[in-house]
Structure 1
Amino acid sequence: MVLLSFCLFFCQLSSAFAAESVIIKAVGTWGYFTNYQKHEGPFWNERVAQVTDKQIVSEITPQTELDLQGIEIMRLVKQGVFDFAFGLPGYVSPESAIFEGADLSSLTQDIDVQRQVSESYFPTLSQAFKEKYNAQLMTLYPFPSQMIWCKSLVSGIHDLKGKRIRVYLETLSDFVEGVGATPVNAPYKEVPDALLNGSIDCAITGTMSAYTTQLYEIAPYGFKLRVGWGLAFGAMNMDKWNLLDKPLQTTLQNEMNKLTDEMWRETATEDEVALACLSTGPCSLGEIGNMTLVEPLAADLAIRDKVARDVILPRWVKRCGPECTANWNRTVGKVLDLRASIKPE
């Protein structure tokens, strides 16, 4: 019903502007997270019309308002239901494991290195989006660090063993199983109830999302082990992209590049802000969460690295195949000085 209303709105909008404007209907990520509120939303709702003098008229709605889960978004873009989408490559990975390659769990700890990884893998993902979804990849950008938030104290990686941990990507499931825990795949909106009713013990999500959704009220313990970035994409239906003349394409891509830089810069600082707000402050965003945060020890980091090399990478190699793996080794593997191959787990 929401999708129908959304489409009806754009039908009316198209009639009003058809003579002089290109209409873009876009879908964003989660409306309750800062990436949508501060970047994705304002970009399509305001900036694009301003910089193109309304040659492009657009509006974006977050997937949470459309009752979408994320996994179906690129299929809808391919079908032309949406012209543009922000989303997570890992959510489209069931169609091809190649989409996971720039954000495999636990491989990248530093945001500057993560950007190098993303840029090295961008041509691979660009080709995959064209072939699988008839879409033009325009940006890759990160959410804040993905860490582990629990109902009971986790003093080290060994305390995760036996716990049921919420995940949202297959590569995160590989990490969870690699440390002896049980992955539970669930959309984020179900996490609070799952923690309250005991169906999960912990949840993996970003630092800022843990704060903005007040996860500290249900899961008062945080284990500051970075297990991913929640890398996201922005992609446009190729047929719609080709309707734009070259100057408009250049303007739109240049503005998207500026947006990309803004999101990388802000994500680089959001971890520190969010972790301060989650614990004892100071907090510039509002109330403090008084969460107990545990810093991983050197032994924890060594276990994480071993799981990354011996479990996460080999499992992904099996999913992706030899050609995909060889490409990863030439791109991401070169940045990280790692070689993906099948090893005994």
Structure 2
Amino acid sequence: MRKSVLALAAAVLVGGMIPWSANAELDQLNLKVVGTWGNLSNWKVNEGPFWQQTMPAVSGGKITADAVPQTEVGIKGFEVMRMLKIGVFDVAHGVVGYIAGEDPIAEGIDLAGVIQNWDDARASMNAYRPIIAAQFEKTYGSKLLALYPFPSQVLFCKPPVNNVADLAGKKVRVYAASMGDLVEGLGGVSVTIAFAEVLPALEKGVADCGITGTMPAYQAKWWQVATHAYLFKVGYTATFAAMNLKTWNKLSPETKAFVEKQMQEFEDTSWKNTMAEDAMGITCNTGVGGECTEGKPGSMKKVEPSAADDAVRKKVLEDVVLKRWAERCGAECVKQWNETIGKIAGVKAPVPQ
């Protein structure tokens, strides 16, 4: 069934798009592209089909790509932008959280515990887009092409976790600085572990819980070890597509306009696909809420945060997460964030003196 779903998605991506009417004006390109994780839906349903099928089809064969997921070439999330900058790839897809440790301005797009629903997630990424675009150009020599999400990021735990108090003393896998701040503010111990290494870490007790998206947790088989899906909303994992600026600057104006148009359609499609699979990720991990369309369901206990849990989230967000990030980012950065994402989320980061 999974193969047929992927085939249908790819057919829709290609068949639903009208070929560019001025293909003769496009540059002839074969781009080196790296995507996100090859075993997850963003690559299988969005990134892979876009570069391997949609882009060649709508460009009349003018723009093709040697596109592979980062897992196939053996690189880690934090290495993606470094390799894009030096020209190993022409285009890179990656998660902002993985570069947050060295770039607090970019980190601001996806601070843990801030965004709590899909509407705010998209509005906040759009509002912060000019800031991210300027930062990518300045720091990484790249042109931002798209911003899109992974499914909502929640906690999956091997020991029983039924409320926020149960996180006290638990070792929780994180992949971004603000996630570590949130976990520590909740009384847990943050541990940074690569995505591919989380399952054995849970098995061996190196980690008690892990934070990831609802469907990625299922696709990575966390349900074989974790017992509780604690749906405490950490965020939506801002994900980017960016092109090496030297590659971008060589393109003709017509090709630039074409690429930007196609990347906007890619972004819209990625949002729709990811939002649609978010609830299914919970169903597949827990067996609750219907039939898992992806395969055998897990049997984690589904735990919804209480109003009291959410009150703790808000307090930790204000007292720990935003304060620590503000110190990392500086006054001007914080002012920009408060005027964009902070306004959408109804929270305010303290401006450092």
Normalised by the length of structure 2, the TM-score is 0.89
Match of 1:288 among 274, 297, 304: 297
The answer as to 2:238 corresponding to 1:254 is: no
Gaps of 5+ in 1: 1-19
Task: List aligned pairs for 1:89-100, cutoff 5 A.
Answer: 89-100=96-107
The amino acid of 2:239's aligned partner reads A
CA contact (8 A) 1:315 1:342 kept: no
Residue by residue over 1:76-127, the C-alpha shift from the partner in whole angstroms, topping out at 9 and shown as x without a partner, is 1111110000001121223320011111001111111110000000000000
2:47 is matched with which residue? Answer: 40
2:67 is matched with which residue? Answer: 60
1:168 is matched with which residue? Answer: 175
Task: List aligned pairs for 1:187-266, cutoff 5 A.
Answer: 187-266=194-273
1:307 is matched with which residue? Answer: 316
The answer as to 2:340 corresponding to 1:328 is: no
1:268 is matched with which residue? Answer: 275
The SS at the match of 1:102 is helix
Q: Distance in 2 between matches of 1:209 and 1:179?
A: 24
2:325 is matched with which residue? Answer: 316
The SS at the match of 1:64 is helix
Q: Distance in 2 between matches of 1:294 and 1:263?
A: 27
CA contact (8 A) 2:155 2:229 kept: yes
2:19 is matched with which residue? Answer: none
Q: Distance in 1 between matches of 2:145 and 2:77?
A: 18
Q: CA deviation at 1:46?
A: 1.5
Q: CA deviation at 1:269?
A: 2.1
Normalised by the length of structure 1, the TM-score is 0.91
Q: CA deviation at 1:338?
A: 2.1
Q: CA deviation at 1:337?
A: 2.6
CA contact (8 A) 2:218 2:284 kept: yes
1:338 is matched with which residue? Answer: 347
Q: Distance in 1 between matches of 2:101 and 2:208?
A: 26
The SS at the match of 1:60 is strand
CA contact (8 A) 1:52 1:248 kept: no
Q: Distance in 1 between matches of 2:280 and 2:273?
A: 10
1:143 is matched with which residue? Answer: 150
> How many residues end up aligned between the 2 structures?
324
Task: List aligned pairs for 1:98-177, cutoff 5 A.
Answer: 98-177=105-184
The amino acid of 1:166's aligned partner reads R
CA contact (8 A) 2:335 2:351 kept: no
The amino acid of 1:303's aligned partner reads V
Q: CA deviation at 1:342?
A: 5.6
Please provide the CA RMSD for this pair: 1.3
Q: Aligned residues: percent identity?
A: 40
The amino acid of 2:328's aligned partner reads R
The SS at the match of 2:247 is helix
The SS at the match of 1:65 is helix
Query: Which sits farther off after the overlay, 139-148 or 274-283?
Result: 274-283
CA contact (8 A) 2:326 2:334 kept: yes
2:30 is matched with which residue? Answer: 23
Q: Distance in 2 between matches of 1:161 and 1:207?
A: 22
The SS at the match of 2:159 is coil
Q: Distance in 1 between matches of 2:313 and 2:273?
A: 26
Match of 1:73 among 65, 80, 104: 80
The SS at the match of 1:219 is coil
The amino acid of 1:329's aligned partner reads N
Query: Which sits farther off after the overlay, 177-186 or 56-65?
Result: 56-65
CA contact (8 A) 1:90 1:100 kept: yes
Residue by residue over 1:46-78, the C-alpha shift from the partner in whole angstroms, topping out at 9 and shown as x without a partner, is 211111112222121111111111111111111
The amino acid of 1:295's aligned partner reads E
Gaps of 5+ in 2: 1-26
Q: Distance in 2 between matches of 1:217 and 1:94?
A: 31
Q: CA deviation at 1:334?
A: 2.0
The SS at the match of 2:30 is strand
